[in-house]
Amino acid sequence: MEDKKLKLNYKNTFFIGLAFFAILMLWQVYNTYCPLILRELLNSSFGGDTNRLNYVIGIIMAMDNLVALIIMPLFGNLSDKTHTKIGKRMPYILIGMLASAIAFPLIAAFYIMNSLIGVVVLMGLVLIIMQGYRSPAVALMPDVTPKPLRSTANGIINLVGYIGAILAGALAMVFKVKTGETGGLTYLWPFIISSVFMLAAMIILSFKINEPKLLEETKEDIELGEKLSQSIEEIKVDKPLSKLDLRNLFIILIAVFFWFMSFNAIETFNSLFCSEILQNSGIHGTFTIILTVSSIASFMLLSGLAQKIGRKWTIILGLGLLILGIGLMTLITYILKENISNYVWAIYLLTVIIGIGWALVNINSYPMIVEMSNKNNIGKFTGYYYTASMIAQTATPILVGLIMSFNTAGLRLLYVYSFVTMIIALLIFLFVIEKRDYNRQKEKKSMLENLGDLD
């Protein structure tokens, strides 16, 4: 009966999602154009076989993420301890969005000036700024949302965020460069447009979200949500995690690491894959839009699935769909080979499956982590989640880049790599014990004990 007292404020959750909207839009533009920019600048500077430069591109893309490994948990923990008139998360969010919007177009500006060093430095700077406010931005949702409602709220946050990814995909379709051509001013516009959208989102967010007021309004719901937590043991401010919850935390973080190893490989190199293997960089924009729309549809239609079958089994279903989609993509890449461009429709169909799977994993994994936090350390646990994901996003561009650079199959190995790492993620995640599974085990034990009492 207590569940009925908890109601999600959809409007506030939507506005909180604007920070994620800006992050995903910039991130998608970054992942689409930066590998292409780096390839051109590396070719002009060093020449040689383009395929041999994939590992260099991977290292450069990964170095930014390596710096973010320090920034994200630091700012997540720092925001837990911050107290200002506008809240503990909002100062980081607003300053971070403004700084990112100013710095982002400079990446393309340095590319136009043919400065490889300038591009690399600005790439690093932008990611440091964005990751600095990402943890506080993501932590704001669980700050004001009771634990049982966080999967639904996270679905809305992702829904808003993926609208940004759709816009980024549209930009990739409009501002595209064919193989052998240089980007020139074509690459500048997506960066400028993304920054304009970020500034607009920042302004709306600053007017619509009053963090201290929201915290006060949701105080009773948050306390009730603690009692309805899905953690194995009750979470208290002055009490460490139980051994079973701590075990679950480590298993989930390791699984998060591997599924981001898989998915980020595609994010990093798919624009190059479309450009070189499919001979059309514009396909990447369509791929992004289809992936995003299918994810959004899943957020809307399947956000309540976790309440019926549990977060664990919802994520397992999502991982299964990801393995199916990526696995079939691998077969298409190898079987069709030279004729692959004639079967783009099949790639788009599989992208829908991948999008649904990724949505199911995304909307439930972060809530599972912060389920084990208390009201005073949500930022820290948010940092744990993003540390695991950022370690993966640091390692995977280098690893898959090396694999593709020193193998004749080259970019065709991209989906093979993602397929294998996603299977590993699933195998690890199967060891998570959810509260409902734990309760079933206790019930079975109790029945056996009762039988013993009959003797």
**Which of 224 and 293 is assigned the larger pLDDT?**
293
**Which of 412 and 2 is assigned the larger pLDDT?**
412
DSSP secondary structure code for residue 240 in this structure: P
> For 2-60, what is each residue's pLDDT tens digit?
444 678 888 889 999 999 899 989 988 998 888 888 888 888 877 655 566 777 887 88
CB atoms within 10 A of CB 197: 19
Domain count, the chain: 1
| Residue 453 forms part of a structural domain | no
At residue 455, the pLDDT reads 39
Residue-wise burial string across 170-180, b where 16 or more C-beta atoms lie within 10 A, e elsewhere? bbbbebbbeee
* pLDDT at 282 exceeding the cut of 80: no
Q: The domain spanning residue 443 has which CATH number?
A: 1.20.1250.20
| pLDDT band at residue 435 under the 50/70/90 scheme | low
At residue 96, the pLDDT reads 94
* pLDDT at 384 exceeding the cut of 50: yes
| Residue 4 forms part of a structural domain | no
| Residue 422 forms part of a structural domain | yes
| Residue 415 forms part of a structural domain | yes
> For 90-136, what is each residue's pLDDT tens digit?
999 999 999 999 999 999 999 999 999 999 999 989 988 988 888 88
Q: Calculate mean pLDDT across residues 307-321.
A: 91
Q: Which helix (H) or strand (E) holds 245?
A: helix 243-276
Q: pTM of the prediction?
A: 0.70
> What are the percentages of helix, strand and coil residues in the chain, rounded to 5?
85, 0, 15
**Which of 228 and 44 is assigned the larger pLDDT?**
44
Go through the chain and tell me how many residues it has.
455
The residue segments making up the domain with residue 397 are 9-447
At residue 101, the pLDDT reads 95
| Residue 118 forms part of a structural domain | yes
Rounded distance between C-alpha atoms, residue 427 and residue 19, angstroms: 33
* pLDDT at 451 exceeding the cut of 70: no
At residue 452, the pLDDT reads 37
CB atoms within 10 A of CB 83: 7
| Residue 455 forms part of a structural domain | no
Which position has the token pair 């993966």?
392
Burial class (CB in 10 A: 0-12, 13-18, 19+), 238: exposed
Rounded distance between C-alpha atoms, residue 62 and residue 74, angstroms: 19
| Residue 29 forms part of a structural domain | yes
| pLDDT band at residue 1 under the 50/70/90 scheme | very low
Q: Calculate mean pLDDT across residues 295-301.
A: 81
| Residue 454 forms part of a structural domain | no
